Chain A
Amino acid sequence: MTKQLQARRLNGIDHNPWVEFVKLASEADVVNLGQGFPDFAPPDFAVEAFQHAVSGDFMLNQYTKAFGYPPLTKILASFFGKLLGQDMDPLKNVLVTVGAYGALFTAFQALVDEGDEVIIIEPFFDCYEPMTLMAGGRPVFVSLKLSPNQDRELDSSSNWQLDPTELASKFTSRTKALILNTPNNPLGKVFSRAELELVASLCQQHDVVCITDEVYQWLVYDGCQHVSIATLPGMWERTLTIGSAGKTFSATGWKVGWVLGPESLLKHLRTVHQNSIFHCPTQAQAAVAQSFEREQLHFGQPSSYFVQLPQAIQRCRDHMIQSLKSVGLRPVIPQGSYFLITDISEFKSKMPNLPGAADEPYDRRFVKWMIKNKGLMAIPVSIFYSVPHQKLFDHYIRFCFMKDESTLQAMDKKLQKWKDDLRP
């Protein structure tokens, strides 16, 4: 081939940082607090639902409706219809996708054209940028910035904020979409109603679509409230709300996600869907439908998984925060999600020259050092920043606390040894 073999849409998006770090984690004897998935089982009712789906009606082994297994789209429309305050039609306002990842891809492909601008708030779940690029779009970044606590208390993710003037300046006549992630990965920030109103008013003013990634919507702590921007006035008609069964039911391996939104937008996502994967696996959808049916019955009650899970995970969060503090790491207390980030500036000043490639950001070298020498794995937060900003945000690492007690105890052992090593 004289000209380039691969399509130009792949330019600049072939590298994936996860591949390297996932490989590293599998190699050494490490406590894996890196990649975001639970290491405990989904709730019994979800496991039973999947078992039921795979051993019941054998026709569930065949194709279902392209845009979603009917009992699933029905329950999603009813469940989220209530939450979003909309009368949702399962055929018009719901699309089932292969994970929330698939939902994001479908949304970008459906709406982003060559030269369209997409506003991405940093730090961002890393796929938003390459997905924008693959659609020919131009990512426009705006960073959450820390307004640190004045006392010596740990910062909260709520201290990370957008500057309204700066955000407003990012909107141009070419802005097609803004991608919002709340609760945010990696920070754990839960956008407040006021912050969402700011985003909403700009989206409306500039006639921009809001793609909102709400996969961690149930994982909010300390009484924090998750607010869906689609519920704000004027927003339903311009918002695509993305959710994930994997994060909702602690079953990331099922790869079932969905997009909720107005027919005028969803019809374009359906076109992409029918020309990319066409159908999603039936049985996993059946399991998710049954799981939501169960949650609908228990909604708001102590027996609801959506009540119990954040309570349990908050304890994991708090355990991890205390443990990390003991070795001089400074975690940022997340309001939601299953991640927290930790400031490693002290380590950066004490050991600035860790092995790594020429201009490899410090946090990546630190993580590799930590994996090799301390048996702990985390993810460098610079992965969640645009290339020009990586050097500015190279002093944070992200830990996942969606882990079993035994994993956290294994973490404590490693941290204790680390602490011992630090003693003179």
Chain B
Amino acid sequence: MFNSDISIYLLPLKFFLLSCSMFLARARLCTLGSRPKFLKTICASKILGLSTSAKMSLKFKNAKRIEGLDSNVWIEFTKLAADPSVVNLGQGLPDISPPVYVKEELSKIAAIDSLNQYTRGFGHPSLVKALSCLYEKFYQNQINPNKEILVTVGAYGSLFNAIQGLIDEGDEVIVIVPFYDCYEPMVRMAGAIPVFIPLRSKLVDGKKWSSSDWTLDPQELASKFNSKTKAIILNTPHNPLGKVYTKEELQVIADLCIKYDTLCISDEVYEWLVYTGNKHFKIATFPGMWERTITIGSAGKTFSVTGWKLGWSIGPKHLIKHLQTVQQNTVYTCATPLQEALAQALWIDIKRMDDPECYFNSLPKELEVKRNRMVHLLESVGLKPIVPDGGYFIIADVSLLDTDLSDMKNSNEPYDYKFVKWMTKNKKLSAIPVSAFCNAETKLQFEKFVRFCFIKKDSTLDAAEEIIKAWSRQKF
């Protein structure tokens, strides 16, 4: 009874409070205390008798497609490594400068007015032309720049467009473990079922452990294919292992794709980063594969400009057109000046493909030295590295260190998560746990591995070396 008296009393105040809150909203307050919000809350939920917060939270639930996809390893670990005193060998981000001519092209373009407005949605004309020219060198067929190439927001965007465009609810998609972490959530967001198959290592005595020792068992792989298999996602050179699939290995995959009429989404962002004794093969060039393959590339990884967020998909027009449909309903077009700068940078290197100065040749040379340095460093402190044949990551088995991680909270986390957090906190060196690249069932298989990124300037690697040397001195 008391309450109803109050509410009657408060009713005339309703309009006063409403107009107060609207006035306060309109008057652009420099400091906002909690008063306006408090008034609004009263108005909205109590006096006007509108939706209760319980009802509201039901309706405002996320769409089913993103259920369970909210966590992300990078968000967690980049926060950890953000401490400037930590030597960050975690995220795959170069701290070296991009090549001078790449920066110069972008600077020049920033002065050209016409490039500040929208360009062609499926890719800036001069860029798709440059990409077509570059990649025609590797394919037997000509590549139509308008119908067989799509420029996307990073290779990440190409993966998204390919999966959204071609993968349906209920489809199965084969994912090789370890995998770049977005493959699983993207497949799930499309309502499809990821079917996992791990790379398995054979131990070879008397020889350094190499990424080439990690292979797919052909029979196991064949058992994963069935009539519901829509696609297989391939990543070569591979993140995090650094494996560069051989011609024979790719042929096994190609044969299965053709037998089961399956698509192949081939993530080749590290295609230029292949070390001595290895060669990158494009599965799309194998017989019967062009018509069923989307090959993805990245400006960020090609020119060490991850912040430009430009990638591309190359494939037959009957597949690319569906990625283009996704594009016109998602971002529509990518940034113009960056695309033009990328086109100019590509032309510079296209003209000198055999020159050691060409970035496609000079970067892997530079990185091979860093790779070798990392291998040596990791070995010196008792970590067992797997020498990568390509890419800019190296993983190492940390179990021999037998580090005491008992003071790390969250005992449900895999070993490598705890190890990385311990190492970041106590050694000021960050890395990424390899189980982050595994699905729930396979995490245990890879929980003793940690991934280091070596596309870092010498001073960063020097700092890592200092830490590692001190660490090894502590042990012995």
Number of residues of chain B lying within 8 A (CB) of chain A: 97
CB of A273, distance to nearest CB on chain B (Å) = 10
Q: Are A277 and B29 in contact (CB under 8 A)?
A: no
Q: How far is the CA of A37 from the CA of B118 in the complex (A)?
A: 7
Q: Are A233 and B43 in contact (CB under 8 A)?
A: yes
Q: How far is the CA of A302 from the CA of B14 in the complex (A)?
A: 38
Is there a chain A Cβ closer than 8 Å to B117's Cβ?
yes
Q: Are A271 and B331 in contact (CB under 8 A)?
A: no
Q: Which residues in chain B, 178-234, are within 8 Å of chain A measured between CB atoms?
A: 182, 185-186, 189-190
Q: Are B22 and A82 in contact (CB under 8 A)?
A: no
Is there a chain A Cβ closer than 8 Å to B403's Cβ?
no
Q: Are B157 and A63 in contact (CB under 8 A)?
A: no
CB of A226, distance to nearest CB on chain B (Å) = 12
By beta carbon, the residue of chain B nearest A60 is B307
Q: Which residues in chain B, 38-69, are within 8 Å of chain A measured between CB atoms?
A: 40, 43-45, 48, 50-51, 55-57, 59-60, 62-66, 69
CB of A239, distance to nearest CB on chain B (Å) = 11
Q: Which residues in chain B, 135-152, are within 8 Å of chain A measured between CB atoms?
A: none
Q: Which residues in chain B, 244-262, are within 8 Å of chain A measured between CB atoms?
A: 261
Is there a chain A Cβ closer than 8 Å to B94's Cβ?
yes
CB of B121, distance to nearest CB on chain A (Å) = 8
Binds A, one of B103-111, B387-395, B421-429: B103-111
CB of A222, distance to nearest CB on chain B (Å) = 19
Is there a chain A Cβ closer than 8 Å to B101's Cβ?
no
Is there a chain A Cβ closer than 8 Å to B312's Cβ?
no
By beta carbon, the residue of chain A nearest B17 is A233
Choose among B103, B106, B190, B331 the residue that contacts A98 (Cβ–Cβ < 8 A): B331
Is there a chain A Cβ closer than 8 Å to B302's Cβ?
no
Is there a chain B Cβ closer than 8 Å to A379's Cβ?
no
- What's the interface size class on A, roughly? 35 or more
Is there a chain A Cβ closer than 8 Å to B465's Cβ?
no
CB of B276, distance to nearest CB on chain A (Å) = 27
* Inter-chain contacts of B103 with A (CB < 8 A): 54-55, 58, 61
Is there a chain B Cβ closer than 8 Å to A109's Cβ?
yes
Choose among B29, B66, B93, B165 the residue that contacts A6 (Cβ–Cβ < 8 A): B165
Q: How far is the CA of A105 from the CA of B164 in the complex (A)?
A: 13
Chain A 1-35 per-residue mask, 1 if CB under 8 angstroms from chain B, else 0: 10011111110011010110010000000000001
* Inter-chain contacts of A268 with B (CB < 8 A): 62-63, 66
Q: Which residues in chain B, 152-167, are within 8 Å of chain A measured between CB atoms?
A: 153-154, 156-157, 160, 164-167
Binds B, one of A146-154, A246-254, A408-416: A246-254
Q: How far is the CA of A110 from the CA of B106 in the complex (A)?
A: 34
Residue with the highest number of chain B CB atoms closer than 10 Å, among A62, A99, A282: A62
Choose among A42, A99, A238 the residue that contacts B60 (Cβ–Cβ < 8 A): A238
CB of A360, distance to nearest CB on chain B (Å) = 21
With A63-B91, A131-B329, A238-B60 as known contacts, state yes or no: A281 contacts B69, CB within 8 Å. Answer: no
Q: Are B322 and A6 in contact (CB under 8 A)?
A: yes
Q: How far is the CA of A81 from the CA of B56 in the complex (A)?
A: 23
With A63-B307, A231-B22, A275-B186 as known contacts, state yes or no: A6 contacts B37, CB within 8 Å. Answer: no
Q: Are B306 and A238 in contact (CB under 8 A)?
A: no
Report 6 cross-chain contacts, Cβ distance below 8 Å, ordered by A residue: A51-B107, A61-B98, A86-B37, A113-B64, A254-B116, A275-B66
Q: Give 18 new A-B contacts, CB below 8 A, not counting A61-B98, A234-B44, A275-B182.
A: A6-B166, A10-B165, A14-B322, A18-B121, A61-B305, A81-B32, A82-B28, A98-B334, A110-B63, A130-B329, A204-B44, A233-B48, A255-B336, A265-B60, A267-B70, A271-B70, A276-B160, A279-B154
